Chains A and B, each alone.
Chain A
């Protein structure tokens, strides 16, 4: 077998060195009843060619986003990733290394994490960021739990503009941790409604901008209301490219910012792996979950990096840890950092401007055919069409993936007529024209 270097001779020799007659002797602690002597009912080994054939067939059964006009967003976005990003993340030294617990021989990974943390802090307008989380939704749940540690209160208010998967994940995980979650009903312009719900028991308010309907909101007033009540404001962003154009969460008064970083450096991957970003005010650093990389010096006085503040973490604190998390999303963080290094300040601003411009073109083209519900948007809009799920199915026949029906995310909201559409730098004018023509045909307008 191509992944197993031992030869039959090696095995015989090694059993001799150990002093046992056969391999079964090494499994003698397994109860006899549980020892499987026959092979499991699964296919036998396969060469590369055969595996490529099988997976190639499965891949060919899918319709990739790039195969035609495509308008899905709602928490995952199709962007162009420069070729050099994938080359770097496939370097053996990054791909096949472990968590940097031995900093003397892991400075590559550690310096990247330090650069990553600096970039995330800059994007969000906050002072400190961790070395990444599993994804945006779990980062959101962890931020909510963090607010409980900071305020010693138990109630979290989730805005109706928060992505329903994020709300459900937070409800599951933060509720497990003993918090009381108030989830407001999904609505296009839901943000203002959170202010009325803030009270003296509130640990945090969670607001998303741009929200799941694409609406961009200035959350400054929500921040003020939260702070007056002694609560934290958590701002969620699922489209990280928007940081290039919009006011940052920190600038608007957020205490914690969480985001899905997939848009920068990472493919759609049918939902994962992605990368959660989590940043906060400096005074909250010791309550943060997840790994942190910090600067220090080595025995020769040279600047270097280590994982730090690990007294918050499970391998030291065990049942008293701030979180049970043991890993980050290292390779996705590397892809994020390399892509953002290529973009730089001007590149990210250009990319964000281009995304907004494409979305304006989309919105202008749809105006008059359907009702556009999103008043202020970055690269994503909600429109009203009768039975959005049906419209998406119908447009498939025209070769168009027309977006995400809101009902797929939240079937109980009574918003079956809301369709979410995103445009990015990958969306062309031809794509938009094809969508408009097909919609006109299907809706008879």
Chain B
């Protein structure tokens, strides 16, 4: 294999191992080695047939591109094979439990996919006359009603396109409210040490300074530290509840009281809403703003990293500052208020073009309607039951970070039980891959050493939980018995061995270029 100057091979993958021997073609049984599109296809190949254009582009003169684009095309059968082969290199919820803590990898119902593809939703233009989209506006209005009822909050901004975008929306509402009250000097935001990275990043993004709140030994916000840090320059606190340790903030009502007493707002990160949906309303806890990840609690697919959706529910104090557009019940039916008019002059602006993630709204609404208020309550109960079951079973070999009392929807372990084994959290996680499971969230939250955060979700059966726990217990015993090689080199059986991330970052190679590799590999025949 020839290597590039930075040590990268300039040919597609070779080297799957058969009893110490590589396969002759680089394939691994039915798992095919798959080159890049640009190595497979050609500039003159296409998988689409068009009529010829009747008019040329002579009217555009030298505005027309003079150089080739540099794209590569494939016929339809080749396209199907290329992407189906690639798909087989991915883990997915549909294959096995996907225990990523704080990510809520639950089953994605296919009914939702079918509904989102109805032409009455999918083939609607965002700017066609509102009289022709009354059903879409009605769906958004019903979704808003469910979100408000489930959270006990009076208003919701639907447009944010993801959780972090929702956080930004919430903080901009808070900033606008402070400025409207003449409190623009409030520029400090308090965030617990266990917070997700988006919380401090978002606060800094809107120009706030970030200060950490200490955590108690039992994994909650330290009330005395909070009280000491609150002051006349604090704009908001950002607290996740249930928190990133998988624990309910017992003192949440007191947290809200202290915050409001200091003249600040309570932003709640709703990433973990799945644990309490149908049982607890954040509005009853004193929350002023909270984003809801529709791709977590309400089952819209994660899609390999998006698209998400992050509507933000708002208290009465913050509602007037919500961004455009929003829905009103007008004389001609439902209407979108798209531009800031006089009666709504307090809106802080706009989060994105158009009206948000409609495709996700349809999916989330289909999911809510399927479960109903009774099913959603059962969702929270089963999510919490599954997590506590995993915690109880795994505690036989692993060290729970907070052994006393129940957890909520996710179970957190430290790496104390790996002491003196020579195996790290990362090694253990990679060995899970060889057993057929996706690793748990690792090294997060930062407050627990070598953290392993396991969120099974409510859509796992007891049989799958037992299979998962059985695999982890067996691995834990192997680690303690000194079988270090099993971990250090893991994964051995995945489509790839461990990847060199340092190399990737040192001299980034982010695109394929024609001189990188020669042609599509023709194994055997090339020799």
Contacts and interface: CB of A to CB of B under 8 A. Distances in A.
B83 to A, nearest CB: 5
Contacts of A218: 62-63
Interface string B27-38: 000000010111
Interface stretch (A190-198, A334-342, A433-441): A334-342
A306 interface: yes
A314 B167 CA distance: 13
A430 interface: no
B511 A127 contact: yes
A286 B209 CA distance: 24
Interface string A89-117: 11111111111101111111101101101
A404 B139 CA distance: 23
Interface in B9-41: 9, 11-15, 17, 34, 36-38, 41
B71 A308 contact: no
Contacts of A42: 146, 149-150, 368, 372-373
Interface in A332-369: 332, 334, 337-338, 340-351, 353-354, 356-357, 360-361
B182 interface: no
Contact of B495 (A3, A15, A104): A104
Interface string A33-66: 1111001111111111011101111111111111
Interface stretch (B95-103, B258-266, B470-478): B95-103
A161 B430 CA distance: 51
Q: Give the size category of A's interface with B.
A: 35 or more
A244 interface: yes
25 contacts: A40-B149, A55-B139, A82-B47, A97-B304, A98-B100, A107-B496, A112-B83, A114-B36, A135-B352, A165-B354, A166-B353, A171-B350, A176-B205, A248-B69, A272-B352, A273-B161, A302-B497, A324-B167, A324-B205, A325-B165, A340-B71, A341-B41, A344-B45, A347-B48, A347-B73
Given A172-B323, A301-B9, A321-B201, A331 B168 contact: no
B510 A117 contact: yes
B345 interface: no
Given A301-B9, A326-B198, 7 more contacts: A26-B406, A75-B127, A98-B302, A134-B161, A272-B355, A272-B359, A345-B69
A-B pairs, top 7 by smallest CB distance, nearest first, are A344-B73, A59-B120, A61-B135, A271-B354, A331-B303, A172-B349, A271-B126
B172 to A, nearest CB: 6
Contacts of A106: 89-91, 304
Given A35-B279, A61-B134, A329-B307, A104 B105 contact: no
B228 interface: no
B318 to A, nearest CB: 16
A121 B511 contact: yes
A348 B494 CA distance: 36
Contacts of B252: 31, 34
Interface string A50-88: 111011111111111110001010111010001010111
B121 to A, nearest CB: 5
Interface in B160-194: 161-165, 167-168, 172, 175
Interface string B203-243: 11111001000000000000000000000000000000000
A151 B172 CA distance: 25
A169 to B, nearest CB: 5
